[in-house]
Amino acid sequence: MSRPRALELLRVELPLVRPFRTSFGEVTHKRCVLVRVETDEAEGWGECVADERPDFSGEFNEGAWLAIRDFLAPAWFEEEDAGVATAERAFAGVRGNQMAKAAVLDAILDAELAASDTSLAAWLGAERDRVVCGVSIGIASSTEALLEQVNDYLAAGYRRIKLKIEPGLDVERVRAVRAAHPDILLSVDANAAYRPEDIDTFRAIDDLGLLMIEQPLHHEDLVRHAELQALLATDLCLDESIRSAADAAAALELGACRIVNIKQGRVGGVPEARRVHDLCRERDTPVWCGGMLETGIGRAVNLALAAMPGFTLPGDTSASARYFADDLTEPFDLAPDGTMAVPTGPGIGVRPRPDRLRDCVSRRELISAGDKK
């Protein structure tokens, strides 16, 4: 058993190779909090998937920083055992803050696995050493620009294309992509931008042979999602609505979706992501791994998760080059067959490169187990 020693918070910023626009706004840079933990035995790293603003969820970088510094780190330091199971129990007294918790738990798990020379993928019972990858395309400036991006990503090998949509920039664009590529796996993601009254839009999209329609309605409204699902042939998938295994159980019970997007950050870390996976698998519900424009640190975690047996659909696990000219870690590359290798090293299997940390970190704060609260 090893003890907690220290936790360091780091703020990083990396330019994106192209701005990413969703129904709630546009980002030009990846700005996030990294967590580095030290135990008696090892060091571990985790990435918080929150962004600058509380738009995807209620969490945001400054809030996550405070939640970790003032509540989660002290709760961890009180434990004799630095392991992830103990930490998860210790964090149960802090409500919400799933993304903050996930960043710390991922770092703790990385350290724990590094100390026992076990890879995250092996710990998760992953069954594949490569995963099939999709790509998520932000709302483009025009249909022509969108078609060009789709062509480029298909040429690179991506095996599923997801289009971001918002009211007014939806049916026509999806129809154009479908007409150009009748046979590809194609899905749309609305990021909760529609209302039940938009049923005609969904009926039109329903005719386009999509793999799924992701998070069409308000994130708290499972009942309306169930009503919409009953009206459509296309499977609905929920993302923002699923913040825990309990949410996933409720959604499936109600018939609010037939597919679940698993983001470990959104559900409070890898252990809860595993519970969502197991629950969906018991109910024969396909899951896939979502993405939050992660750097290589978060990407390594996603690839290990995506290698679990229930992840039967291509995820938003794209190559480093799709996001960054120079990632924080060694880059993750896509093979021409549209797959990426699952890291095999101890823990998450990657580390941030010191030269990149020098360039990208704007602020750091080290908290030691002995510090006064």
Binder among 111, 293, 306, 319 for ligand NPG (CB under 6 A): 293
- For tokens 């936790």, the residue is 7
How far apart, in whole angstroms, are the C-alpha atoms of residue 32 and residue 12? Answer: 6
Which residues make Cβ contacts (< 8 Å) with residue 134, sequence separation at least 6?
A: 158, 159, 160, 161, 162, 185, 288, 314, 315, 316, 317, 318
56 touches ligand NPG by CB under 6 A: yes
Tell how strand 339-341 and strand 287-289 pair up.
unpaired
Stretch that binds ligand NPG, among 36-44, 171-179, 220-228, 291-299 (CB under 6 A): 291-299
Residue 148, CA distances (Å) to 65, 127, 293 in order: 39, 35, 21
Cα–Cα distance measured from residue 306 to residue 127, given in angstroms and rounded to the nearest whole number: 10
d(CA 18, CA 51): 17
Residue closer to ligand NPG (CB basis): 56 or 202: 56
372 noted as active-site residue: no
61, 136, 187, 234: which one contacts ligand NPG (CB under 6 A)? 136
Q: Which is closer to ligand NPG, CB of 63 or CB of 74?
A: 63
CB 149 → ligand NPG: shortest distance, Å? 13
- Selected binder of ligand NPG within 51, 59, 88, 170 (CB under 6 A): 51
Q: Could you say which of 216, 290, 338, 349 contacts ligand NPG (CB under 6 A)? A: 290
Please confirm, yes or no, whether 263 is among the known catalytic residues: yes
Q: By CB under 6 A, is residue 327 in contact with ligand NPG?
A: no
For position 316 contacting ligand NPG by CB under 6 A, the verdict is yes
CB atoms within 10 A of CB 39: 24
Annotated catalytic residue within 101, 162, 164, 373: 164
What is the binding site for ligand NPG (CB under 6 A)? Answer: 22, 51, 56, 136, 189, 191, 239, 290-293, 316, 318
